[in-house]
Every structure is written in structure tokens, then in C-alpha cells.
Amino acid sequence: MFGRRFKIFRLAGFDVHVDVSWFLIAFIIVWSLATMFRTAYPSLADRPGVCWAMGLIGMLLFFFSIVLHELAHSVVARQFGVHMKGITLFIFGGVAEMADEPPSPKAEFWVAIAGPIMSVALACLFLAGSRIPQPLPSAALLMYLGVINLVLVVFNLIPAFPLDGGRVLRSILWAARGNLRWATKVTSRIGAFFGMALIVWGLLRIAFSGNILGGIWMILIGMFLRQAAQMSYQQLLLRRALEGEPVSRFMRTDPVVVPPQTTVADLVDRYVYVHHHKLYPVASNGDLLGCITTRRIKELPREEWPRHTVAELADQCTIDNTISPETDATEALAKMSRTGASRLLVVDHGKLVGVLTLKDLMRFMSSKVELEP
């Protein structure tokens, strides 16, 4: 979903990231708000610096409102034992990234509704603040933030998956029939239909009102929601296909292994340039001694490569890049999703017995499950 992103801070135990696409929408919002304030309040027309400052502050507070909205999802999800990868701001707003599905309809409902509840609370706070006697710029800004948070609530409560309203509907359908797959299928189709409706609406705006920017924006949001709805259902099918299958069924028993005495120069020439992996196990006689990554190699000056061995640079392998052969494959998939790794080393009592790749999992899943639109 995301391209390059940066961590900006940590809040309540969750990392908050900014995707590079966010900078585009941030600029558009600042410019739009500055223009809106200058047009809506004639007394500010000859004070462009104030309008731009209001636009910048409004943008920052709006996105912080989104962070709090997603934080509410994350905190409640954590209470129900759902692992959250963090919060990311991107061009279409923000998202709290769940590594797993909620364990029950009750958990799904409360995780989904927590965000809108937070937004309603923020809207009430901003609107109440705008009623306090104060200079026009700050009152106008608070009024805008209150209204935009209410708009956020209304939009998110549309019963189209993966919007919050779609998740609430999924929890109700899940509780009614006891079938998460069916509930996800129904709500994701509603989400796909809603996305298509936004695309059509955007085209009509361009054709009949001449609002090219607004129309393009609606089309982009519609495309994003449609794709997200379809992918959500497919991901659920993939998880179901792997349930009950041990990692040992999919692992390759002949992993590429680097001997500890190998020089870094040989590692690059004989392994990195040949296999193009980002991580290599360092082992001797089957014993896993550590892991060496391409990032670790880059930290060493090139002229030093022939004079240092892999054993000197290797780090201890961690739970993020290793897994046991009897582990359920769904846990392996969740770990890959959580860490962004495409390969896991399969280790049994300190012995390297294989390697599990995302490509092998996908190949199995595509053969077992017919992905539905």
C-alpha cells in the first residue's frame, strides 16, 4: 500500500509514520485552507501571511486529528490482543495497520467504532472552542476543524468495507451468521461498489461542473477504496488457505548458507550478486551462527571487504527473521506482514533446517484458493 515512509514519533506505544505521498496532500490542504480563509473572511483578504499560517496550523491539527482517530483503533485493538504494526499518514488520510483479523465480532465492532467516537469527541471539542470569545483567525480555524472532523465521521461510517462503517457492518453480519468469510465477502463487495460510485461521481463532476481537481480526487479515492475492498477479501481467503498448515510443508530444505570464514568481498560476489537476497544465514555444520544483511555490508567501506569475514559482521538472528518448522503457516504470513520480510529462516533447536519464502506461500495459496473479485 505504501511507498517510502518515515517515522515521525511514537504515541502510546505505536510508531507513527508519514508516507511520502502525504507531503502532496499536506501542501494541497495548506493551499486550499489559505484560499478558503481569505475568501470566506474579507477582513483577512489583505493579510495573506495570516491565511497561510492558518492553513499550515489547520493542516497539522487536521492530520493530528487523524492520528488520534487511528490511535483509538489501535489502542482498542491492542486490548483485544490484535497486533498493530503502527499508524501511517498517506495521501488518502491515515490507517492503523492490523497484522491480524480481530478475534471475534465483538472485537471487530469496538475496534471499528473507536475511531469515529474519537472523531466525534474532537469535533465537539473544536466546535466548543470556537464559541469562546477570541480573535477571528483562531475561531475560524477551530470551527473548520470541528466541521471537518464531523465530515470524517460521516464518511467513515458509510457501511462499505474497509471503512469503519463497513467494519461495523461486518461485525454485525459476522455475529449473525458466525461466518467471517461470508461477512467479509458481503461488505467488501459493498465497498467495491461504493468505490465505483465515487469514480462515476468524479467523472460526472469533471464532465458537467468543470471541477477537474475535485473530480480527479473523487476518482482516486474511489479507485483506492475499490482496490482496498477487493484486497481485504482476498487476504482473508489467503489466511484461511494456510490455516492448519505447518511451516515445514512449505520450507525449502536447501537454503543458501554462508560459511562464517567467507570474506565480505566473496559474500558480495558469490552470494549477493548471484541470489539477490537481503539476508543470508551464517551457519557451520548445520548450526545457525548468525545472520548477515546487505544493509550491514553497506556499513563497511568497500575497500575493507577483502579484509573482514562474514563472522565479524554477522548479527544474532532474531524472532523477526526466524521461525520453527511446526509453526502454523498463518503465523509465518502474519510475521512477514508485520516485519516486511519476504524470507524467514526455519530453525529447529539451533539448527538451520530450511527457509520459508513468501513466494512459496503465494504459489501454494494460488493453487488452493480461487480468488474471488
Q: How confident is the model at residue 140 (pLDDT cuts 50, 70, 90)?
A: confident
Tens digits of per-residue pLDDT, 179-234? Answer: 998 999 999 999 999 999 999 999 999 988 877 878 898 999 999 899 888 888 87
Integer angstrom CA distances of residue 229 from 109, 161, 179, 281: 18, 6, 18, 38
Q: Using the 3D structure, point to which of 216, 242, 268 is the last residue of a domain.
A: 242
**Are 226 and 289 members of one domain?**
no
State the residue range of the domain holding 220. Answer: 179-242
CATH number, domain at 286? 3.10.580.10
Please say if the pLDDT value at position 369 is more than 60. no
Task: Provide the pLDDT for residue 371.
Answer: 45
Catalytic residue among 70, 101, 108, 370: 70
Catalytic residue list contains 70: yes
**Are 337 and 231 members of one domain?**
no
Q: Supply the pTM of this predicted model.
A: 0.72
Tell me whether strands 343-348 and 322-323 are parallel, antiparallel or unpaired: parallel
Q: Using the 3D structure, point to which of 126, 157, 188 is the last residue of a domain.
A: 157
Tens digits of per-residue pLDDT, 273-325? Answer: 999 998 999 999 889 999 999 999 999 999 999 999 999 999 999 988 999 99
Please say if the pLDDT value at position 1 is more than 60. no
Answer yes or no: is 174 within a domain: no
Query: What mean pLDDT is reported for the chain?
Result: 89
**Are 13 and 139 members of one domain?**
yes
Average pLDDT over residues 4-18: 87
Name the DSSP class of 221: H
Nearest Cα neighbor of 5 from 71, 95, 81 is 95
Q: How many domains are there within the chain?
A: 3
